Amino acid sequence: MRQLDVWQFQRREIEAAQLKPGEDVALEEERRVQANLGRILESAGIAYGALYDAPESAFAQMRVASRKLEELGRIDSSLGEIKTTLDPALIALQEASESLRDYLSRLEANPERLEAVQSRLAAIDKLKRKYGASVEQILEFLETTRAQIDAVENAGERTAELRRQRDVLAASYEAAAARLTKTRTAAAVKLARAVEKELGALAMAGTTLEIELTPSGWSARGVEQARFLVAPNRGEEAKPLDRIASGGELSRIALALKTCLLHSGKAGGGRTLVFDEVDTGIGGSAADGVARRLKLLSSENQVLCVTHLPQVACYAAHHYRVEKAEAGGRTTARIEELDEEARRREIGRMLSGNRVTAEALSHADQMIRAAS
Q: What is the DSSP string of 254-301?
A: HHHHHHHHHHHT-S-SS-EEEEESTTTT--HHHHHHHHHHHHHHTTTS
- Give the β-pairing of 272-276 and 222-231: unpaired
Cα–Cα distance, 226 to 210 (Å, whole number):
10
Check if the beta carbon of residue 300 is closer than 8 Å to that of residue 333.
Answer: no
Question: Does pLDDT of 46 surpass 80?
Answer: yes
Name every residue whose Cβ is closer than 8 Å to that of residue 355 and which is 6 or more positions away in sequence.
Answer: none
| Residue range 76-101: mean pLDDT, rounded | 85
Q: What b/e sequence results for 20-52 when a residue is b if at least 16 CB atoms lie within 10 Å of its CB, and e otherwise?
A: eeebbeebeebbeebeebeebeeeeeebbeebb
Question: Does pLDDT of 79 surpass 90?
Answer: no
* 3 state SS of 331: strand
Cα–Cα distance, 272 to 222 (Å, whole number):
27
Cα–Cα distance, 348 to 369 (Å, whole number):
14
- φ/ψ of 301, rounded to 5, equals -140, 165
* 3 state SS of 108: coil
Check if the beta carbon of residue 135 is closer than 8 Å to that of residue 126.
Answer: no
| Residue range 345-359: mean pLDDT, rounded | 88
Question: Does pLDDT of 270 surpass 80?
Answer: no
Check if the beta carbon of residue 98 is closer than 8 Å to that of residue 48.
Answer: no
Span 172-201, pLDDT tens digits: 999 999 999 999 999 999 999 999 998 888
Confidence of residue 64 (pLDDT cuts 50, 70, 90): confident
Name every residue whose Cβ is closer than 8 Å to that of residue 363 and which is 6 or more positions away in sequence.
Answer: 348, 351
Check if the beta carbon of residue 233 is closer than 8 Å to that of residue 257.
Answer: no
Cα–Cα distance, 266 to 259 (Å, whole number):
10
Cα–Cα distance, 364 to 312 (Å, whole number):
12
Question: Does pLDDT of 365 surpass 80?
Answer: yes
Check if the beta carbon of residue 62 is closer than 8 Å to that of residue 89.
Answer: yes
Cα–Cα distance, 49 to 54 (Å, whole number):
5
Cα–Cα distance, 24 to 20 (Å, whole number):
8
- Give the β-pairing of 239-240 and 222-231: antiparallel
pLDDT at 212: 93
Question: Does pLDDT of 310 surpass 80?
Answer: yes
Question: Does pLDDT of 1 surpass 70?
Answer: no
Question: Does pLDDT of 313 surpass 70?
Answer: yes
Question: Does pLDDT of 92 surpass 90?
Answer: no
Q: What b/e sequence results for 159-194 when a residue is b if at least 16 CB atoms lie within 10 Å of its CB, and e otherwise?
A: eeeeeeeeeeeeeeeeeebeeeeeebeeebeebbeb
